[in-house]
Chains A and B, each alone.
Chain A
Amino acid sequence: MARTEEYQLNVGPVHPSTHGVLRFLLTMEGETIKDVEMIIGQLHRGIEKIAESRSYLQFIPYTDRLDYISGMTNNYGFTKAVEDLAGITVPKKAEYLRVFVMELNRIVNHLVCIGSLLLDLGAATMIIYGFRERHKILELFESLSGARMTFNYIRPGGVRGDIPEGFIDKAKAFLRDMPKRLDDYAQLINENEIVLMRMKGIGMLSPEDAINYGVTGPMLRGSGVSYDIRKDDPYSVYEELDFKACTRPECDTYARYIVRMDEMYESLYIAEQALDRIEHLGGPVKAHFPRIFTPPEGEVYSRIEAPKGELGFYIVSDGSTRPYRVKIRSPPFCSLQALPQMVEGLKIPDLVATFGIVDIALGDVDR
């Protein structure tokens, strides 16, 4: 039998499969991964420090730059914390608009995640299709907020502005078109033999471990824990909408992929309901929010179900115009910790697949 010796292998920080600037230091035995050390921080911009010198309203554009793929949910995460802190009530129409854009943002996020995962596995088609649909959603967002990725749309008290002319029709056309597209993609990927071989039974994470590591979102639901903050600790108007939390019991990479596919259908369904209410609701989309805003003293921690998992903002206010402390709980930062356990004993190509489905944005991990 050949004798093997442990050695270390460096992957990244600039490597196509690390989705940003993340560095792996692998401890290998032959071709088997024994341990992974992740070296993060290359994209650290000190956003929590910046928050201390910005007013509450000024900080919202910075949240767009956390998880740059899903800016809308980041906007809302911070906005919700501020609203909880100051007890601001938001007009109904604004809440539905928020839900609408957040659910579309979830689709954007999952399309990018699945597209880039399959690109890493060697299938370049899906990312092109994914970006095509993403483009349609970003056009809708652009007509609302004026920007394609850095929206600054959801603000304390409501949203930036009412829907433009013709928005409902465009949105309806998209919602009508999208399920067929998703069916196509499911047909393309779900039963694909290579996909099955690369993802089934790879990257196992038991529900107990997932909970203990603080893994949330689709990762947790792929491990069979039916937990969705929209359902279990509801916020906004999610209680009035009909949807289900998508769960799979297999605990592997494929289960996490399927959860994301199912969630896109679910998001479309929610967006449809929200759009219907937006169409029939009148009234303002913005409550009064003072220009010089001084919330009461106190602390607040509010969390939402972002596409990548539990996104939380902990704000300490000292009663001045600027937050005393803002702490961000970014979902991939916590989910990444489970990676060494998931890939132990696997080969390097499995690391790429397992890591791809964790779905990180380094802007969010490093802040």
Chain B
Amino acid sequence: MSIQSELKTRFGDAVIETYLQKDGKPGLVLKPEALLEICNFLHDSGFDHLSLISGTDYVERMEVVYHIWSYARKENIVLKVKLDRENPVVDSVTAVWRGANWMERETYDLVGIEFKGHPDLRRILLPDPWDGHPLRRDYDMSVDQYVYIDENGKDVVTQDASKILREEALDGKN
């Protein structure tokens, strides 16, 4: 029995629909609240490699997609949860796969999806005070943000380019 139908029979209420990706990988759309339980079950049944977590902004909703692979069974499974765009929160799977840690931080950083139960949910690629989540569709690309390091070694983000230029000019004088 394929893992897709196995999950469907076992977690019938939690599975909203099944689908096939364009490349033939079987996928399931899940209710967000059931994600952690299903991930635990998958991990215990041999799906030990979490390839990728990716978040996508579809304007009317958010999606988080998990690509999982089993080293033993040599099988793919794709999980997807659809989230409310105003309040995109889903359970963290770091307890199942530790490798999810940075991937979830990155998704939080760039797409702005919150992972409940993540041990250390901070921005990872962008500096902490950055304004907005760049991979969201409504991110304003016309506003420039500049980063500099203040005297305490903290990143500071400003929209005022002259601020950086002035400090550089001052350094030159000294």
Contact = CB atoms under 8 A, between A and B. Distances in A.
Contacts of B100: 214
Contact of B99 (A212, A298, A302): A212
Nearest to B21: A299
A301 B67 contact: yes
B4 interface: no
A350 interface: no
A312 interface: yes
A41 B135 contact: no
Contact of A312 (B67, B74, B125): B67
Interface residues of B, number: 33
Given A48-B110, A299-B22, A367 B134 contact: no
Given A48-B110, A212-B97, A325-B56, A301 B127 contact: no
Contacts of B52: 301, 312, 314, 327, 329
A85 interface: yes
B101 A337 contact: yes
Contact of A48 (B21, B126, B135): B135
B51 to A, nearest CB: 6
A301 B99 contact: no
Interface string A286-303: 000000000010111111
Nearest to B107: A327
Contact of B54 (A85, A327, A333): A327
Interface residues of A, number: 41
B3 interface: no
B124 interface: yes
Interface string B117-145: 00000011111000000110000000000
Interface string B15-52: 00000011101000000000000000000000011111
A205 to B, nearest CB: 12
Contacts of A337: 98-99, 101-102
Contact of A211 (B21, B48, B65, B103): B48
Interface stretch (A90-98, A133-141, A183-191, A225-233): A225-233
Contact of B126 (A41, A84, A325): A41
Contact of A49 (B65, B101, B134): B134
B115 to A, nearest CB: 15
B125 A301 contact: no
Q: Pick the most buried of B22, B50, B52, B69: most chain A CB atoms within 10 A of its CB.
A: B22
A88 interface: no
A301 B51 contact: yes
Contact of B50 (A40, A44, A214): A214
Given A211-B71, A214-B50, A310-B51, A41 B125 contact: yes
B53 to A, nearest CB: 9
B127 A84 contact: no
B136 to A, nearest CB: 10
B105 to A, nearest CB: 10
B20 to A, nearest CB: 9
Interface in A51-105: 84-85
Given A84-B22, A211-B48, A233-B69, 13 more contacts: A41-B127, A49-B134, A85-B22, A209-B98, A211-B71, A212-B99, A213-B99, A214-B100, A214-B103, A215-B99, A227-B71, A299-B21, A312-B51
12 contacts: A44-B125, A49-B134, A211-B48, A232-B74, A233-B74, A298-B22, A299-B21, A301-B25, A312-B52, A334-B102, A336-B102, A367-B125
What are the nearest 3 A-B pairs in CB distance? A214-B99, A298-B22, A327-B54
